[in-house]
Amino acid sequence: MAAAPSYARIPIIIIVLLLALSATSASSFSPSPANGSDTDLGALLAFKALLADPHDVLAGNWTGTSFCHWIGVSCSRRRQRVTALSLLDTPLAGPIAPHLGNRSFLSTLNLTGTNLTGSIPPELGRLRHLRYLSLRENSLSDAIPIALGNLTRLEVLSLSFNQLSGQIPHKVFVRLKKLERISLTQNDLNGQIPPYLFNSTPSLKYRYFGSNGLSGMIPPEMLLRSNSLREIDLGGNGLSGQIPPHLFNNTPSLRAIYFNDNSLSSQIPAEMLLHVHKLDSIGLSNTYLSGQIPPYLCNSTPFLMFINSATNNLSGPIPHGIASLSKL
């Protein structure tokens, strides 16, 4: 029998004891009904069950119950809860099971390019640890569920290249204060852009709404609280009217503007880019803008810049310094 351990050794012994205990519980204790791992397993099986899985990616790889080793699944080491599900560019074909909303520890859900159909289950709004959600490049339809507005830790929301319809759900954005990137490019969204859409998302850097069916004017209030804004794409919609002259007054970090392929008319407002000093690119092609390109434009934007305005009815001299215009 060894002498009593010195105090310095006690923590080590406790850790060893805890490790031994947890190993025992993992191997021989039967899971309690409230065991979260069981919920995760059930959710994954329900997810798998609804998919056609034509290449047998799930049928071949998601076998047994050690789901933490399944392809595309990542777990927290300590609790063995699913923290990420990333299945990319593999055809799964079918709807997203609402059961995915039960996996409460999920922080990444990346189902890019997996041929998903049906609507986005509102149950996904229960994934309160979710920081990254990409359902890009699928065939999802119907409206964007308001319940996604409960994903208050979300930093990236990418739903581009689907067939989502309805209006931009303003309510979704109200509580997404950590959002940095939103991409809704190439869907069937329609209606007007809500004027104060981005008032609650101060960190939002990338905003892609191109190639939808948005209509009406660009609301002058839309970028009021947009200090972080780097890129905005509203191209390929049915937007009309003038570009609000002071739209970019509060966007000092702006690097790219794409307003091309719309029904914008009138002139490029002379004041438009006075407060934007980091711009690289501005796309205004295939709109109905007329008049002169404001001559100060190149002075205020020291970096490379192109105005792709080939089919506009712009007249007058090309401002000295926009040499890169010819690059198009």
Ligand X SMILES: *[C@@H]1O[C@H](CO)[C@@H](O)[C@H](O)[C@H]1NC(C)=O
Site residues for ligand X per CB under 6 A: 25-26, 31-32, 35, 37-39, 42, 56-57, 60-61, 71, 80, 86, 88, 90-91, 93, 98-99, 101-102, 108, 110, 112, 115, 117, 123, 125, 132, 134, 146-147, 149-150, 290, 313, 315
For ligand X, give the closer residue by CB, 79 or 277: 79
CB of 192 to ligand X, least distance (A): 22
Residue closer to ligand X, measured from CB, 78 or 327: 78
Phi, psi of 51 (to 5 degrees): -100, 145
Shortest distance (Å) from residue 2 CB to ligand X? 32
Q: Which is nearer to ligand X, 249 or 262 (CB)?
A: 262
Closest CB to ligand X among residues 150, 301? 150
For ligand X, the closer of residues 32 and 326 by Cβ is 32
- Strand order across the 132-134 sheet: 73-75, 82-86, 108-110, 132-134, 156-158, 181-183, 206-208, 231-233, 256-258, 281-283, 307-308
The least distance separating ligand X from the CB of residue 109, rounded to whole angstroms, comes to: 9
Nearest distance from residue 50's CB to ligand X, in Å? 11
Q: Which is nearer to ligand X, 150 or 249 (CB)?
A: 150
Which lies closer to ligand X via its Cβ, residue 71 or residue 323? Answer: 71
Residue indicated by tokens 């966007």:
251
Report, in Å, the least distance between residue 21 CB and ligand X: 11
What's the rounded Cα separation, in Å, for the pair 156 and 183?
8
Positive or negative, the Cα torsion across 129, 156, 215, 252?
Answer: positive
Q: Which of 195, 116, 120, 117 is nearest to 157 (CA)?
A: 120
**For residue 193, which phi and psi values (nearest 5 degrees)?**
-80, 125
CB of 239 to ligand X, least distance (A): 18
Say how far apart CA 141 and CA 217 lie, in whole Å.
26
Name the residue with the smallest CB distance to ligand X: 60
**Residue 291 CB, nearest distance to ligand X (Å)?**
7
Nearest Cα residue to 150 out of 101, 110, 197:
101
d(C-alpha 17, C-alpha 21), whole Å: 6
Bridge pairing between strands 82-86 and 73-75: antiparallel
User: Which residues are CB-contacts of 107 (< 8 A; sequence separation ≥ 6)?
Assistant: 83, 84, 129, 130, 131, 132, 153
Q: Give the distance, in angstroms, between the CA of residue 238 and the centroid of all CA atoms in the same chain.
A: 23
Minimum distance from residue 236 beta carbon to ligand X (Å): 21
Q: Which is nearer to ligand X, 83 or 134 (CB)?
A: 134
Alpha carbons within 13 A on the beta-carbon side of 7: 0
